[in-house]
Amino acid sequence: MSEVRMTMPVAREHVWDVLADGWMYVCWVVGASHIRDVDDKWPAEGTRLHHSVGIWPLVAHDITVVRAVEPPALLELQARLWPLGTARIRLDLNEIAPSQTEVVMTEHGTSGVGKLIPDLIESAVLVPRNRESLSRLCDIAVGRVTRTASG
């Protein structure tokens, strides 16, 4: 299992707002290239994002399903990418000060090829990717707060 932590200079509700907007998934998740559809009740448990990964024209279409949700503190997803299998992604949002949130992102393969990859190799691939994903998530959340405050 890989784990990445990042402290973001915004309240966790602002980070949650980005996560709760399924159409923003492609903006912060490294590798996601296109959102085709988002279930109306996203991110309620069982709802799905229909997404594509890869660079056009070499894209694969698949889905991500919400497995657990506790707004604004937890979002757990099951991402599928056929034929590679599935991965479980968990985002914990911990308020450490009124305008400071630690986000902990864990990910591990749960089926298919991803489950067979040794932990050390999985972490070597996922940690840099997920660190960049959290950096993008932070930039979006901070940008939204800054824009709202100045506008």
Q: Mind giving me the DSSP string for 67-87?
A: EEEETTTEEEEEEEETTTEEE
Q: What is the per-residue pLDDT for 123?
A: 86
Q: Is the peptide bond before 118 cis (omega within 30 degrees of 0)?
A: no
Query: What gap in Å lies between CA 144 and CA 18, rounded to an integer?
Result: 9
Residue type at 119 in one-letter notation: D
For residue 83, what pLDDT is reported?
66
Burial of residue 33, with CB atoms counted within 10 A of its CB: 0-12 exposed, 13-18 middle, 19 or more buried: middle
Token digits for 29?
Answer: 């998740």
Q: How far apart (Å, rounded) are the C-alpha atoms in residues 93 and 72?
A: 7
What is the pLDDT at residue 146? 87
Question: How far is the C-alpha of 24 from the C-alpha of 15, rounded, in Å?
Answer: 12
Torsion angles phi and psi, residue 97, rounded to 5: -165, 170
Residue 82: its pLDDT value, please? 64
Both tokens assigned to 129:
């990717």
From the options 3.40.50.720, 3.30.530.20, 3.90.330.10, 3.30.70.141, give the CATH code of 2-146. Answer: 3.30.530.20
Quick check: 82 and 106 in contact, CB under 8 A? no
Walking along the chain (151 residues) 10 residues at a time, the average pLDDT comes out as 95 98 97 95 98 89 96 96 84 96 95 80 89 98 87 64
- In this prediction, residue 151 carries a pLDDT of 64
| 21, amino acid identity | D
